Amino acid sequence: MYDFDADIADCARAVEQALDRFVSAEVLSGPGSAPARLIAAMRHGSLNGGKRLRPLLVRQAAAVFGVAPALALTAGLAVEALHCYSLIHDDLPAMDDDDLRRGRPTVHKAFDDATAILAGDGLLTHAFGLLATPDAHPDPAVRIALVAELAQGSGAGGMVGGQMRDIEGEQGGFSGNEIAQMQAMKTGALIRASVRIGAIIGGADARALSALTAYAEAAGRAFQLADDILDVTATAEAMGKATGKDAAAGKQTLVGQLGVEGARLQLASIANEALAALRTFGPKADGLRASARYFAEREN
């Protein structure tokens, strides 16, 4: 019987421990040694007690093919390092200008803007470095497929492009379709990459990869819609970050267009879509099923 609470807690613990080891002077040395201030900023921005949902999706997608959690950890760390870099850069004054993240000062507040830019760059680079190590997968052909997947999900046609669209959208005038497209890139693309990376580690064939991609795209939309609803309904205390920011920034969200109740109805429908994409998979996909439900029902 699959236990979501145990899985998410175990995954978060494993990721935190592994980041503690991998975001360190020893591992980050290259032709020179990484400066202490840079390592401290990279650690501040990654060892933050996050929920580690993306590594969870990597391990859950790999579990569909019987892969043990430990064998999906390094790839999960790479995705998480990528996610953490994106938060550090998004929080910069030139971008979303956030002072608080998980109840702590953001990296540029705890250090300074230059250090935050470099810490983000360092984590982004390290994500690909992690995928290149044999720990990510024994077969180099699989590792290079993981690199391609992460680059595509996080690049200009994915996460980075979504952040660009989000900034452009602050001027207003986005249609519902354009908002959905922006969110599919900004948040959805890395969730999609997480699931596909787990599937690739598991040796998924084309049909399974396609089904899991459909799952991931729906799950990503559910995640983002829940986030938008929480931005309106939750308190800053429960979220560990400022809420009501989207409206204050004039940001376009689907909640603004559908209202909270309309958005909740749509959220339930998207979550069902995610579950439907998994119908050909047996109990080994229970982890992914639980995550889709969690994304739709989470309260912080």
* Cβ at position 34, least distance to a second copy in Å: 4
Q: At what angle do helices 189-201 and 73-90 cross, to 10 degrees?
A: 170
Nearer Cβ to a second copy (47/147): 147
* Cβ at position 68, least distance to a second copy in Å: 22
* Cβ at position 203, least distance to a second copy in Å: 15
Nearer Cβ to a second copy (10/178): 178
* Cβ at position 82, least distance to a second copy in Å: 9
* Cβ at position 261, least distance to a second copy in Å: 29
In sequence order, what DSSP letters do the residues of 209-233 get, joined into one string? HHHHHHHHHHHHHHHHHHHHHHHHH
* Cβ at position 106, least distance to a second copy in Å: 14
Nearer Cβ to a second copy (136/288): 136
Nearer Cβ to a second copy (31/66): 31
Using CA atoms, how far residue 105 sits from 37, 82, 299, in Å, is 16, 20, 22
In sequence order, what DSSP letters do the residues of 178-212 get, joined into one string? HHHHHHIIIIIHHHHHHHHHHHHHTT--HHHHHHH
Give how far the C-alpha of residue 65 lies from the chain's centroid of Cα atoms, to the nearest Å: 22
Q: Are 89 and 41 in contact (CB under 8 A)?
A: no
| Six token digits for residue 286 | 């229970």
Nearer Cβ to a second copy (149/227): 149
Nearer Cβ to a second copy (84/124): 124
3-state secondary structure of 31: coil
Helix (H) or strand (E) holding 21: helix 4-22
* Cβ at position 14, least distance to a second copy in Å: 22
| Six token digits for residue 294 | 């969690």
Query: 221 Cβ partners below 8 Å, 6+ apart?
Result: 180, 183, 184, 188, 270
Using CA atoms, how far residue 99 sits from 40, 104, 122, 191, in Å, is 18, 8, 21, 25
Nearer Cβ to a second copy (216/263): 216
Nearer Cβ to a second copy (211/290): 211
Interface residues toward a second copy, by CB under 8 A? 28-35, 37-39, 42, 85, 89, 92, 94-95, 112-115, 117-118, 120-122, 124-126, 128-129, 131-133, 140-141, 143-145, 147-148, 150-158, 160-165, 167-168, 181, 184-185, 188-189, 192, 217
| Six token digits for residue 114 | 């230059």
Q: How far apart are CA 204 and CA 187, in angstroms?
A: 24
Q: How far apart are CA 87 and CA 225, in angstroms?
A: 18
* Cβ at position 214, least distance to a second copy in Å: 12
